């Protein structure tokens, strides 16, 4: 079934063809169509994989441990759907904000000069890398897709060449190159150790041979790489200043999806390959608690829209890792629900920040916008309380089930981390209310009505509507994430679909 390869192939072809178009309008239309097509194929895959199937493509017809395998199970389906949705909204927002070039030095919105240097094409390559990392079943191919994603993100981050972009971009490139070098070493070591790079094959060999200190070392290296990508404490210091520097549409996609690729890789590695490495999982669980606290405290200290939101993104990474590494199935399913919620809410908040920055600049201490832009205030309020986790939003469902899972697990560490989660939820509420009081509340004569293009506003409305529908459909979606968590706990179907004939294994003996 070649459907599985399409979310990788469509952006690749589209990205290459986008370089041929000469006008911005043609590029926007073509990119929108291509992303819509990617979203549709992702939807098809998600429908089939969420109903319990595991879709597998052996690239080039080479059977599993030898060739590269693309696999789509429930988790992949969810992630593809999320990346496709936010990709489409990003392309629409970037295209609609394009008509209004900002003044010099104001990087909030994409302007024509930058767009002419290939933002749309780079974004398609970014989408290709993201989708490939969700689909691949091969460790080295995961490295390659990370690199595809990262090289595209370097381009998107740096286009424009403002000093802040150069400074933060340099840091971003360096930290990612170091992480990539470690990933290469880990991949090489795991080939030497297991004689295979196929994740399902590694999982089977580990089941047969048991754990070993060398296995722990490889798992530790991989965990180091993936937590760097996910920006968990203490490896997340590169994120809060670098994500706000590119134009809004781009930084929204970065914050919503790119860090979640790291979380996805962690979940995949530690449910499929190393479920037995309990010490590492406990370490990541503890770090998740600190990540939440750092994220929410950092958010309070920030004076500018997107800089504050970047820290709330770090906090949400903490919540995700807390659930995923809580060593219980209910925690994992809560984390999967929270994953969907957090992609949508972070994305929406960044888009709203884009509109607000267009209205009154980067800082949010500028009162009295509620009376002039009432609908923007409503949209912000909904997503803000969703971020903080107050009922009746999806954030409440996610956080409540996360904390409940931890309390029912019940050892001392879980209780401590769960209380940190509650406290940092309150801190996040304080942080978003800083924006509410600073930007929307109060009265001011100095606020003027800036004409916002209808298409940008429409994208924000769609994003808020998606967030609301997640809350409304909370029950069915939560059941879905429970099913996916159950699938991830055993991975029986994944293994048997990827490696249908275990007898075919090459004669590489046990661990050398």
Partner 1 sequence: MELLLPFLAAVLIATGVYLVLSKTMIRLIIGLSMLAYGANLSILLAGSGTELAAPPLLTVEGPYVDPLPQALILTAIVIGFGTTALLMVLAVRAYQAAGTDHVQELLDHPDLLPPEGVYADPEHPSVSPEIGPDTNNINADEGAASNGAESKAEEEKA
Residues making contact with partner 1 (CB under 8 A): 23-24, 98-99, 101, 104, 111-114, 116-117, 140, 143-144, 147, 151, 154, 158, 160-164, 166-167, 169-170, 173-174, 177-178, 180-182, 184-185, 187-189, 191-193, 195, 508, 512
Identity of the residue, 191 or 436, whose beta carbon is nearer to partner 1 in the bound complex: 191
Alpha helices in 98-230 (DSSP H): 112-116, 119-135, 139-158, 163-194, 199-209, 213-230
- Min separation Cβ 506 and partner 1, Å: 9
- Min separation Cβ 72 and partner 1, Å: 24
Q: Which residue has the tokens 């180091």?
A: 224
Alpha-carbon distance of 263 to 257, in angstroms, equals 10
Reference 426, options 327, 286, 253, 300; nearest CA is: 300
**Which 8-state DSSP code applies to residue 54?**
-
Identity of the residue, 48 or 214, whose beta carbon is nearer to partner 1 in the bound complex: 214
Alpha helices in 361-447 (DSSP H): 374-388, 394-409, 412-435
Alpha-carbon distance of 226 to 229, in angstroms, equals 5
Measured at the CA of 484, the angle between CA 480 and CA 488, to 5 degrees, comes to 170
Identity of the residue, 97 or 330, whose beta carbon is nearer to partner 1 in the bound complex: 97
Q: Helix crossing, 119-135 with 6-18: angle to 10°?
A: 170
Identity of the residue, 113 or 300, whose beta carbon is nearer to partner 1 in the bound complex: 113
- Min separation Cβ 290 and partner 1, Å: 24
- Min separation Cβ 229 and partner 1, Å: 15
Cα pseudo-dihedral 103, 106, 107, 108, rounded to 10: -90
Report yes or no: 5 and 70 within 8 Å, Cβ to Cβ: yes
Alpha-carbon distance of 492 to 341, in angstroms, equals 28
Identity of the residue, 114 or 399, whose beta carbon is nearer to partner 1 in the bound complex: 114
Identity of the residue, 104 or 448, whose beta carbon is nearer to partner 1 in the bound complex: 104
Residue 345 corresponds to which tokens in the numbers above?
Answer: 């809410």
Alpha-carbon distance of 296 to 298, in angstroms, equals 5
Identity of the residue, 183 or 325, whose beta carbon is nearer to partner 1 in the bound complex: 183
Non-local (6+) Cβ contacts of 333 within 8 A are 401, 478, 481, 482, 484, 485, 486
Identity of the residue, 112 or 437, whose beta carbon is nearer to partner 1 in the bound complex: 112
- Min separation Cβ 163 and partner 1, Å: 5
Alpha-carbon distance of 467 to 472, in angstroms, equals 9
Buried b (16+ CB within 10 A) or exposed e, 210-223: eeeeebeebbebbb
- Min separation Cβ 178 and partner 1, Å: 7
Non-local (6+) Cβ contacts of 60 within 8 A are 67, 68
Identity of the residue, 144 or 461, whose beta carbon is nearer to partner 1 in the bound complex: 144
Non-local (6+) Cβ contacts of 94 within 8 A are 28, 110, 115, 119, 120, 123, 247, 249, 250
- Min separation Cβ 161 and partner 1, Å: 6
- Min separation Cβ 181 and partner 1, Å: 5
- Min separation Cβ 369 and partner 1, Å: 27
Identity of the residue, 82 or 193, whose beta carbon is nearer to partner 1 in the bound complex: 193
Report yes or no: 227 and 71 within 8 Å, Cβ to Cβ: no
């Amino acid at each position: 079934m070649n459907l599985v390869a399409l979310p990788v192939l469509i952006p690749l072809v589209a990205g290459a063809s986008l370089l041929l178009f000469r006008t911005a309008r043609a590029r926007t239309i073509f990119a929108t169509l291509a992303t819509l097509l990617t979203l549709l194929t992702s939807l098809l895959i998600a429908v089939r994989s969420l109903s319990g199937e595991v879709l597998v493509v052996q690239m080039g017809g080479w059977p599993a441990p030898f060739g590269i395998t693309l696999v789509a199970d429930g988790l992949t389906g969810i992630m593809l759907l999320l990346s496709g949705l936010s990709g489409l909204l990003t392309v629409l927002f970037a295209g609609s904000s394009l008509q209004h070039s900002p003044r010099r030095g104001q990087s909030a919105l994409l302007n024509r000069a930058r767009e002419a240097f290939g933002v749309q094409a780079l974004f398609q390559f970014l989408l290709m890398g993201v989708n490939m990392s969700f689909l691949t079943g091969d460790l080295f191919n995961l490295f390659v897709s990370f690199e595809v994603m990262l090289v595209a993100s370097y381009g998107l981050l740096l286009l424009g060449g403002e000093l802040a972009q150069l400074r933060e971009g340099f840091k971003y490139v360096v930290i990612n190159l170091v992480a990539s070098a470690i990933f290469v070493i880990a991949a090489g070591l795991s080939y030497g150790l297991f004689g295979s790079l196929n994740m399902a094959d590694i999982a089977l060999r580990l089941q047969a041979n048991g754990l070993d200190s060398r296995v722990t070392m490889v798992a530790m290296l991989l965990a180091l790489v993936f937590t760097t990508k996910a920006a968990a404490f203490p490896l997340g210091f590169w994120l809060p200043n670098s994500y706000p520097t590119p134009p809004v549409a781009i930084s929204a996609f970065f914050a919503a999806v790119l860090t979640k690729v790291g979380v996805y890789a962690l979940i995949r590695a530690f449910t499929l390959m190393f479920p037995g490495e309990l010490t590492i999982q406990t370490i990541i669980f503890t770090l998740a608690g600190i990540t939440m606290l750092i994220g929410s405290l950092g958010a309070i200290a920030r004076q500018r829209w997107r800089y504050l939101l970047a820290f709330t993104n770090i906090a949400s990474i903490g919540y995700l890792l807390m659930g995923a590494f809580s060593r219980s199935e209910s925690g994992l399913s809560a984390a999967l629900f929270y994953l969907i919620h957090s992609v949508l809410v972070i994305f929406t908040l960044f888009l709203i920040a884009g509109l607000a920055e267009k209205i009154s600049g980067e800082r949010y201490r500028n009162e009295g916008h509620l009376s002039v832009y009432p609908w923007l205030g409503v949209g912000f309020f909904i997503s803000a309380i969703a971020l903080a986790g107050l009922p009746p939003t999806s954030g409440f469902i996610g956080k409540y089930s996360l904390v409940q899972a931890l309390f029912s697990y019940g050892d001392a560490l879980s209780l401590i981390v769960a209380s940190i989660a509650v406290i940092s939820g309150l801190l996040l509420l304080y942080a978003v209310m800083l924006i509410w009081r600073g930007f929307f509340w109060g009265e001011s004569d100095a606020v003027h009505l800036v004409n916002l293009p209808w298409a940008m506003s429409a994208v924000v409305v769609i994003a808020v509507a998606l967030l609301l529908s997640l809350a409304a459909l909370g029950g069915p979606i939560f059941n879905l994430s429970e099913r996916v968590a159950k699938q991830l706990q055993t991975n029986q179907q994944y293994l048997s679909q990827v490696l249908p004939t275990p007898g075919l294994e090459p004669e590489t003996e046990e661990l050398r």
